Chain A
Amino acid sequence: MVFNSNIFLFGFLPVVFCLFWLARTKQQRYVLLTISGFIFYSYWNWKEENFQLMHLAAWKYTFLLFFSSIVSFCSGLLIQGAEDRSKKRLFMIVSICVDLGVLAYFKYFNFLAGTLHTLSGGAIPDVVHQIVLPVGISFYTFHTMSYVIDVASGKVRATRNVFEYFAYVTLFSQLVAGPIVRFRQIESDLEHIDNKPQYDNMALGLGYFLVGFVKKVMIADSIAHYVDPLLLSYHSLTISSAWLCALGYTLQIYFDFSGYSDMAIGLGLLLGLHIPINFNSPYKAQGFQDFWRRWHISLSSWLRDYLYIPLGGNRKGKLRMNANLMATMLLGGLWHGVSWMFVLWGGLHGLLLIIDRTIHPYYSKAPALAQRWLTFLVIIVTWVPFRAKTWDMCVWWLKAMAGMVKPDVHVQVSLNLAVLCLIAFVLVNALPETHEMKLPMRLRWAVVYAAIFFIAYLFMNNTPSVFLYYQF
């Protein structure tokens, strides 16, 4: 199920919202969130899979979510109950191996098999399994892993209430595309989930949801409407259309993903849960370290805390630090999807981070606006391998941006795309991020919110779409 669908907006959400506030006890609310999470998740399978496989697929992937959650829940209890550190460590490693094993099989098996087949010159047979990538697997696996690691390191106490834990993992607002919330970040809210409704929070939640909805359906989808067809015929890109596509995609992915994150935060607030922010005006970043402190914050901080620091971080010399940085970004790239293009994207960012650290003392003396726009310009280029489906597309697109190719046919670029990009560019530069906005909560604003929601709804109904990060 996606947030920008009729079934979610007019069916699932109102029902869950009403039942949640009608429920009185913690346990009732945990159970409700668990059930709603599984319904939300399985609905995707029911709709997306073809008819013959429907039942099997729905059960298979919902079971996978259940399996991953129950393994980490039990591991948490075992780790907490273990007396010595080696046992704690053992339980933690087993649990992480299970999580990574599931992720590796469902997400990377075909990719690895294909790569080994190519590298061995065909000596290793190319075993392709008919695997459908379960939606959100990268996100909920990171949820469960962070929980187990935090319990093992004593940062969080394992919950004994299985429904509290399931409510955390399967919380529908952040289940399939994040933010990657750590248990300790919403533990307190879950503990006090039986609180009475706070109406200010609800109005604020509605405001967040609305801002996210507008970002997604009015801006991101409108840009995609023009960029996607142009990139389908990428051999016809001219220098201007190639740059416009790259700029368009840069803005699209921000408005799409930050829109999703705002909606997730808003939905959380409607249920009394405070989901941490995931974006902080990333295109205002002055340099790449700054960018990664602002873009997909929950992932970058996850990678920092559970990968970069355990690898040694910056504690073991400059060379090792750079190697750790590169390894983290390469894996971060691969986390996004099973393609060498994502690895390339991760590698590029790793390299840019290393360069940024090296030249930062000099670079930081330049005017702030110059730093910001230079960073933005390079980011536009780095989105090309991220968006390109193939190596050929990536190279062709970059060559077109450099004016190194001359297409036979000039695909006409709609003026609307240029106007949309200009508006979106002004918005990312002039407006604050959603959490910095003072969203009005007086009653009369409900009318304005409804009017904006109605217009955005007209956009939504025009082109049904899913969020870009659903594929990861």
Chain B
Amino acid sequence: MRFLAVFVSTFLLLAALYLVSYRVVDPDSEYGTGKFPPPLANARQTKQNIFKTYAASHQIEGLILGSSRSMQLEPALAQKLTGFQFFNFSVQNAMVEDYLAIYRWVLSQGANPKLLMVGVDVEAFDPADKIDQRLLHNEPLELALTGQSSGMTDKVERAGDELNIENAIAVVKGLELKVRPAKQTDIVEPDGHTEYPYDEEDIRSGKFNLEKMIGQTIPTYAANYKGMDKLSPQREAWLTQLVHEAAAHNTRVILWVPPLHPETVRVLDQSTPYGDRLKDTIAFVQSLQTQFPNTVKAVDLSSPDKFGGNETDWRDGAHMNKLNAERALTTMLSPETPRHSIPNPGPRSPHGL
């Protein structure tokens, strides 16, 4: 029996030690300890801080929401096209609830954007009708979405979630970065736009191997869409709620469906229900346009040919590079798009380019 007792006690001791070190190193920037450089990008947290700084000196009139696939949309270009001062609040692996939570959080900061550009990814409607853990691990966004903070049970569950190997590796990386700082692969600018200097440098010097990058992307996206037999009704309701709340604030909403690289789509169509769910997503955003004609403009940019893009200006099989992102943004906001859905820029912002 002593063997079992020593076993159990040691396990509990190790778990406690791990949880303390996780909080101290804070690799996901969740606890704000700030003692170690975070090895993981957690835009849900970091963009709140960037937003506060930016909003202190700029009046935010436009907001870009979405996942990493919207991160390359440039607020400066959007401002040039609309006259509105934009902030890009796209976050990694965004689900529909993130769009709503971030919008509410932005409102709670005193901003009242006149235009939302929401990159509606198909996988953001994942049919598992549960609030995504990454959002639940962010207290301000959780509060914005659910109206309440985590209870004791949630906190215990969260501590349990932290006990996994990816986090453990992140803790080790955090310690390593403290000793040996590394170059940043992505840089978030003050307006929330993300730059990928090394990718761009490789593209310019001809070292960039897009085919390899696409090959790396496909397994991940195939896993994302595997068994996605429908769109989540709960997530559809959250997007409808976002539009409803935006309408109540006289805010126009552009719901655009971002593209995947055609090679990725070709493979996904052979092995997953991506094609069907894409149709569902487009139909759903179009139904919101019908339901809220004065608020919503639905834009289907799910393949590069729909915005004059090409198959080469990509970072990988799912993310456009700067050039395709510019084309997509220009198409979304171009004068050819229906008049009623283009927001009236009004007087030019004093902070405009």
Contact = CB atoms under 8 A, between A and B. Distances in A.
Contact of A197 (B1, B2, B14, B270): B1
Nearest to A408: B266
B4 A202 contact: yes
Contacts of B164: 458-459, 461-462
Given A202-B3, A233-B267, A409 B218 contact: yes
A233 B271 contact: yes
B223 A443 contact: no
A446 B226 contact: no
A441 B11 CA distance: 17
Contacts of B3: 199, 202-203, 206, 441, 443, 446
A139 to B, nearest CB: 26
B215 A410 contact: yes
Main secondary structure of the interface of B (DSSP, over half): helix
B1 A447 contact: no
A411 B267 contact: yes
A226 B222 CA distance: 12
B216 interface: yes
B108 interface: no
Contacts of A229: 218-220, 222-223, 226
Nearest to A204: B3
A459 B164 CA distance: 6
A453 interface: yes
Interface string A422-456: 00000000000000000001010011011101110
B1 A233 contact: no
B1 A202 contact: yes
Contact of B163 (A411, A443, A457): A457
Nearest to A10: B160
Interface in A391-430: 408-412, 414
A443 B160 CA distance: 28
A69 interface: no
A455 B266 CA distance: 39
Contacts of A451: 10, 14
B223 A228 contact: yes
A371 interface: no
A409 B266 contact: yes
Contacts of B268: 233
A233 B222 contact: yes
A120 B263 CA distance: 41
A230 interface: yes
Contacts of A234: 271
A414 B212 CA distance: 11
B1 A411 contact: no
B215 A446 contact: no
Contacts of B15: 454
Nearest to A226: B219
B175 interface: no
Q: Which of A203, A233, A443, A455 has the most CB of B within 10 A?
A: A233
Contact of B10 (A411, A446, A462): A446
Nearest to A447: B10
A414 B223 CA distance: 15
Interface in B155-172: 160-161, 163-168
Given A411-B215, A450-B6, A453-B11, A235 B165 contact: no
Contacts of A446: 2-4, 6-7, 10
Interface in A222-270: 226, 228-230, 232-236
A6 interface: yes
Given A441-B3, A447-B10, A412 B271 contact: no
A462 B226 contact: no
Contacts of B270: 233, 235
Nearest to A203: B3
Contacts of A233: 218-219, 222, 267-268, 270-271
A235 B271 CA distance: 8
Q: Which of B10, B166, B167 has the most CB of A within 10 A?
A: B10
Nearest to B214: A409
A66 B212 CA distance: 55
Contact of B219 (A206, A411, A453): A411
Nearest to A236: B267
B211 interface: yes
Given A409-B214, A409-B263, A230 B14 contact: no
B272 interface: yes
Contacts of A449: 7
A61 B1 CA distance: 37
Interface string B247-276: 000000000000000010011101110000
Given A233-B219, A443-B3, A450-B11, 14 more contacts: A6-B160, A199-B1, A202-B1, A203-B3, A229-B223, A232-B272, A409-B214, A409-B263, A412-B213, A412-B215, A454-B15, A458-B163, A458-B165, A458-B168
Interface of B: 1-4, 6-11, 14-15, 18, 160-161, 163-168, 211-216, 218-220, 222-223, 226, 263, 266-268, 270-272
24 contacts: A202-B1, A202-B3, A206-B4, A228-B223, A229-B220, A232-B219, A233-B268, A236-B267, A408-B263, A409-B214, A409-B267, A412-B215, A412-B218, A412-B219, A446-B2, A446-B6, A450-B8, A450-B14, A451-B14, A454-B15, A458-B164, A458-B165, A459-B164, A462-B165
Interface of A: 6, 197, 199, 202-203, 206, 226, 228-230, 232-236, 408-412, 414, 441, 443, 446-447, 449-451, 453-455, 457-459, 461-462
